[in-house]
Structure 1
C-alpha cells in the first residue's frame, strides 16, 4: 500500500515559539537513557556510582550528542554549505545530525566523566551502550516526521510518497502545494514516487532490535569491552545494510562503485572496532554488581 506523508514537523506552538517533534524526540531519548541507567545503577552495574553521578553522566552525554552530532554532520556531510551560511549551524530542528559525530561526542564526555570518577573508560561505555538505542530509534522516528532521509523508489505498489522529494520542486512554492499533491496522490499519479521509509527501517533495527539485543546481553555481567563491542558491531552492520536502499545525501552522492555512501564508509570502522572489542573481551575482567552499593543508593534515593 502506498501512503502520502502528511505529518506536520511542528508539534505545537507557544506564541511565536514552535516546538518541533525533532526536539521532543531528543528530550524523550535522554529521559529514557536516564531511566534505564537508573535501573542499571540500582542493579549495581556500575559500582560506586549513585543517581546523582548518573545524572551528570547523562547530561554530559547529552552535550556530546548534540554538539558532536551537529559538528560531525557539518564536517562529514555538508561543510561547504555551512561555510556559506554559518547561521544554519543553529537550526538543529531542521535536522542535520550525524550519529557518528554524536558518538565521538559521547566518547569524549564518557572519557572525561570516567576520569573524574576514577573508572575504567570501557566500564563506563559498557554501562552506557544499552541506554543508547531507544534514543536512536526515537530519533529515526523524528527523521520520518520531518520527511527527511528517505530511501530509494520501491518500484512496487507499496511505500511512502514524501513531499520533500525533489520530483515536486517545481510546484513546491505554490500556495496550494499540499492540496495539489493530495489530489494527484488520490488519482494514483504519484505511485511511481513511492519510496522506502528507511527512517522506519532504522528505527526498528537501531532502536528496537539493537536495544533488545544489548539489554538482554547486558542483563548479566559480561567481560569488559563485550557490551560496547556488540553495540558497535550491530549498529555498524544495521546502518551499512539500510544504506543500500537509502538515498545518499544530495551534496555527496555515492562515494564509489555507484553504491558506497558516506554512512557506509563511516560504519566500516565501527564494525571493525566492534569485532576488535569482542576479541579483546575474551581475556578481560568482568565487573561484578556491587550489592552493597545498591542498598545504599536505595536508602538515599
Structure 2
C-alpha cells in the first residue's frame, strides 16, 4: 500500500499531532525500514513534530513547517556528536531515513532514537532525586559547552537577530513597556562568547529517575550562543522558578556568580527565543519593577 503524504496544513496538523491513528502507519513504515517492530505505538507529550514511542525506541518525523529541515539536520548532527560523549546522557541514534524518495516534494525525514525509560522532570519535581539530577545537569552543561560546535550548527549564529528583535518579541510576551524601552541599552554589552548550547532544557526535555539525571532529549534547537542563554529554560521551566535546584546546578557547573551574574543572566532571558516572561510574572510583579537592573537582582541576585 502506498502511503498518502501527510499534511501539515492547519488546523489539521495541530489537531492530529499526537494522533496515533493518523500517524501510526508512518511510524511503522519507518520502523520496518530499519527491521524494527513494535506491538504498540504510543504518543508522549505533544511537541512541534510528530513523535511517538514504539517499544524501546522513539520515532520522530519532521515536517517541512517549523523549519523542519534545519531541525532534522541539527538533531541528527547532535546525535552523531553525542554518540562519543558518554558524559552527556542523550538517547542513542538507532536509525535515520526518509519516508518518501520523491525529490520534488518534502521527503519527511525521520529519526529513530533510543527510548528513555524514565520520566520528565515536570512529573517529578518533588522527587528526592531532583537535587542529584540538578547537580548532574550542571556537570552535563559544562561538558556540553566545551564540545566543538558541529559545522552545520556553527554556520548559523541566531543571537544578533534575536537581540535586534528582542524589544518587540518581549513586548509580545508581556514585558511592560517601560522595561521594553530599556532592552536595547541593556543588551548592548551582551556576551560575544559562543558555545554549543542545547537551548531548550525544559521540564519536558530533562528526564530523571530514582537516582538523578536519566537523560536529555530533543536536541533540535541546539545553537551556538553565549553560555547565559542556557540558563533560561532551566531556571524558569525545568525547575519552575525554584532557586534551590537552580543554585545546585550552577554550583555543579562551576558557574562563577560574581557581581555581574544577575545582569548577564537577565541578558540571557532577554535574548531568549522563547517566552520566559509568562513564568517570570509568577515570581515578580513586573509593573512594580522600575529597571531591568532591578529585575536582574530580583530574579538572580
TM-score relative to the length of structure 1: 0.28
Larger relative contact order (Cα-Cα within 8 Å, sequence gap ≥ 6)? 1
Higher strand share: 2
TM-score relative to the length of structure 2: 0.28
Higher helix share: 1
